[in-house]
């Protein structure tokens, strides 16, 4: 049977690092409050010349290089983002053009922080359906452009960045021993809209708008939703938490990550954490964390890796991969 195998990963971060202390004087906050409540110590913030398209392109080029491939080898680009360069055309098509691709096709997916998990699931289906052989799956965001920099309850939480990987059609036996994407579960529930949304858009205000969030409410739902969708993914694959080599969760808040891992019985040393360095980069957070853990040698061929995310909508989901 056809399996979607991971061939290479890449990451890109804006040049400028903003430390927690840099907020002091801007809003009433402190390094101590931010670290204690979130685990975040710094984040990267895009300059004017750094966009979702340019960061996505840079991450994609690194993933291609690490896979030993060129843009000619790719037939589909799926970009997960909620911060496109323009309302249209899709930023994925701009990345396609930046990579010099005149063949294949490209589109954006919007599921906020769960975007990359949705994009991986979609890319896997295109590959298994025979519509694509090699797919660039990218998560790229410039959430700094959506932030209300006078709102201390949100502006300290987010950062900009991009991560990417190449999925390639390969053969498997249809067992848990196969390499590639093995199982996935996706969920959404629009009744939670008001808890995390952007108060603008082309069809309502005609503006870009700002991110609004009831942080405590999001927190309250996050752990239960995350653990439910992961348990569904474990059941699908017939595995338990003990079988995992690595857990790569969405990097929103260290307390959410710790509570989810604890509830699932995933050992602390199997959890990849980058929220301290990047803040919450929405759809870029999972591929960024993943590419860092691959680059530093933690994730190795044969490892069973679980990706998970939850975000605005609410949307949430998990993907299980044999590396
Ligand atoms: N600095 C100092 N004080 C602050 C700050 C800040 N940056 N932000 C809020 N406060 C204050 C509040 O005003 C409040 O003060 P009050 O008691 O006088 O009213 C106090 O701190 C406590 O506020 P809470 O919102 O109850 O603090 P909480 O412990 O819930 O932490 C946080 C807030 C960090 C936002 C937390 O709720 C959280 O992480 N929620 C999840 C949100 C999230 O991660 N969203 C990302 C997208 S969804 C996802 O990716 C899962």
Query: What's the confidence (pLDDT) of residue 284?
Result: 98
Identify the CATH assignment for 180-322 out of 3.20.190.10, 3.40.190.10, 1.20.120.640, 3.40.47.10.
Answer: 3.40.47.10
| Cα 263 to Cα 11, 267, 314, distances in angstroms | 30, 10, 21
Annotated catalytic residue 86 = no
Give CA–CA dist 304/63, Å, rounded.
20
Residue 187, helix vs strand vs coil: strand
| Cα 74 to Cα 23, 100, 116, 253, 282, distances in angstroms | 42, 11, 18, 34, 25
Query: Which residue among the candidates 44, 210, 250, 278 is catalytic per the annotation?
Result: 250
Q: Distance, CA 153 to ligand 1 centroid (Å)?
A: 5
Annotated catalytic residue 250 = yes
DSSP state for residue 45 in the 8-state scheme = E
Q: Tell me: the pLDDT tens digits for 252-285?
A: 999 999 999 999 999 999 999 999 999 999 999 9
Q: Tell me whether domains 2-171 and 180-322 share a fold.
A: yes
Q: Tell me: the pLDDT tens digits for 48-65?
A: 999 999 999 999 999 999
Query: Which residue among the candidates 44, 113, 210, 278 is catalytic per the annotation?
Result: 113
Q: Tell me: the pLDDT tens digits for 77-120?
A: 999 999 999 999 999 999 999 999 999 999 999 999 999 999 99
Q: Which residues line ligand 1 (CB under 6 A)?
A: 29, 33-34, 37-38, 113, 152-153, 156, 196, 213, 215-216, 218-219, 222, 250, 252-253, 256, 280, 310-311
| Cα 265 to Cα 96, 143, 247, 253, 310, distances in angstroms | 41, 32, 11, 18, 19
Residues 309/317, Cβ–Cβ less than 8 Å: yes
226: closest CA among 191, 195, 255?
255
Where are the chain's structural domains? 2-171, 180-322
pLDDT band with cut points at 50, 70 and 90 for residue 210: very high
Mutate to test the pocket of ligand 1, among 23, 36, 253 (most ligand atoms within 8 A of CB): 253
Q: Of all protein residues, whose CA lies closest to atom 31 belonging to ligand 1?
A: 37
Residues 74/65, Cβ–Cβ less than 8 Å: no
Residues 253/213, Cβ–Cβ less than 8 Å: no
Tokens 């101590």 sit on residue: 32
DSSP state for residue 112 in the 8-state scheme = G
Beta bridge partners of 308: 249, 318
- At residue 203, what are phi and psi to the nearest 5 degrees? -95, -5
Provide the whole-model pTM. 0.97
Q: Distance, CA 38 to ligand 1 centroid (Å)?
A: 8
Query: What's the confidence (pLDDT) of residue 130?
Result: 97
- What is the CATH class of 2-171? alpha beta
Q: Tell me: the pLDDT tens digits for 35-48?
A: 999 999 999 999 99
Q: Distance, CA 215 to ligand 1 centroid (Å)?
A: 5
What ipTM score was computed for the predicted complex, to two decimals? 0.92
């Amino acid at each position: 049977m056809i399996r979607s195998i991971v061939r290479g990963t890449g990451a890109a971060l804006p040049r400028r690092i903003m430390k927690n202390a840099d907020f002091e004087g801007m809003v009433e906050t402190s390094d101590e409050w931010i670290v204690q409540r979130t685990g975040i110590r710094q984040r990267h913030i895009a300059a004017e010349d750094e966009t979702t398209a340019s960061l996505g392109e840079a991450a994609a080029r690194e993933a291609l290089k690490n896979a030993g491939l060129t843009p000619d080898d790719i037939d589909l680009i799926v970009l997960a983002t909620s911060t496109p360069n323009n309302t249209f055309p899709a930023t994925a098509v701009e990345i396609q053009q930046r990579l010099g691709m005149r063949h294949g096709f490209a589109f954006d997916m919007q599921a906020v922080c769960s975007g990359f998990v949705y994009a991986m699931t979609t890319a896997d289906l295109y590959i298994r359906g025979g519509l694509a052989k090699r797919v660039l799956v990218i998560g790229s965001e410039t959430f700094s452009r959506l932030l209300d920099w006078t709102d201390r309850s949100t502006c300290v939480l987010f950062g900009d960045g991009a991560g990417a990987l190449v999925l390639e059609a390969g053969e498997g036996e249809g067992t848990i021993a196969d390499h590639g994407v093995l199982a996935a579960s996706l969920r959404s529930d629009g009744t939670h809209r008001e808890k995390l949304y952007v108060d603008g858009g082309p069809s309502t205000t005609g503006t870009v708008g700002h991110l609004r969030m009831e942080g405590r409410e999001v927190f309250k739902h996050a752990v239960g939703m995350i653990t439910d969708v992961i348990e569904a993914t474990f059941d699908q694959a017939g595995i338990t938490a003990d079988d995992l080599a690595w857990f790569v969760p969405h990097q929103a808040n260290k307390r959410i990550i710790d509570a989810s891992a604890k509830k699932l019985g995933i050992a602390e040393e199997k959890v990849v954490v980058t929220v301290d360095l990047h803040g919450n980069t929405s759809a870029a957070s999972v591929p960024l964390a993943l590419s860092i853990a691959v680059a530093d040698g933690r994730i190795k061929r044969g490892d069973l890796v679980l990706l998970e995310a939850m975000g605005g909508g609410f949307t949430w989901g998990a993907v299980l991969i044999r590396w």
